[in-house]
Amino acid sequence: MTTINLTTKIKAPKQIVFDASRNINIHQQSASFSKEKAIAGVTSGLINLDETVTWRGKHFGFYLTHKSRITAMNLYDYFVDEMEKGKFKSFKHEHFFEEENGFIIMKDKLQYETPFGIFGKLFDVLFLKRHLINFLLERNKVLKEISENNN
């Protein structure tokens, strides 16, 4: 299992940051480089507890689909999306939001497992982990810009 932890500091109200983080339209905007689109389930606006979204995007030269469900949510503090269908063996993304000195500290904890045994692990070490970190960093940059501009 691979774990990625990221922290982003945002100068905006907690509710704005939380809602931006679960906004399908904003996610599509932040993932435009991979042509990622919501194609089933919730395809625009805010996703809520127990709802699903299926994404289709181009990664490593291939169009891939990934279906996630929001499996936990505590409004404005925490939510979790977990893969129901996709290329990973397992995929769980936890989102945390804490207020600190007028800023929101947004934390991402992404845990995933690759299929294909040693070949999957090698692909992860050589390419996948860096790709996912960059994907999240771009997403968080867009979330920060949008949240701070809507403040």
pLDDT tens digits along 50-62: 999 999 999 999 9
Q: Is the pLDDT of residue 88 over 90?
A: yes
Q: Report the side by side order of strands in the sheet with 62-74.
A: 2-10, 103-113, 90-100, 78-85, 62-74, 52-59, 37-41
Residue 22 exposed, middle or buried by CB count within 10 Å (0-12, 13-18, 19+):
buried
Condensed to tens digits (0 to 9), the pLDDT of residues 25-36 reads 999 999 888 899
Output phi, psi for 137, to 5 deg.
-60, -40
Q: Which helix (H) or strand (E) holds 78?
A: strand 78-85
The answer to whether the beta carbons of residues 145 and 43 sit under 8 Å apart is: no
> How many other CB atoms are there within 10 angstroms of residue 142's CB atom?
17
Q: Is the pLDDT of residue 151 over 70?
A: no
Q: Is the pLDDT of residue 22 over 90?
A: yes
> How many other CB atoms are there within 10 angstroms of residue 112's CB atom?
20
Average pLDDT over the chain, rounded to whole?
96
Q: What pLDDT sits at residue 20? A: 96
Of the candidates 151, 142, 150, the one whose C-alpha atom is nearest the C-alpha of residue 30 is 142
Q: What pLDDT sits at residue 32? A: 84
- Residue 11: pLDDT band with limits 50, 70, 90: very high
Q: What pLDDT sits at residue 77? A: 97
Q: What percentage of the chain has pLDDT greater than the value 90?
A: 93
Buried b or exposed e, range 27-61, using 16+ CB within 10 angstroms: bbebbeebebebeebbeeeebeeeeebbbebebee
CA distance 9 to 15: 14
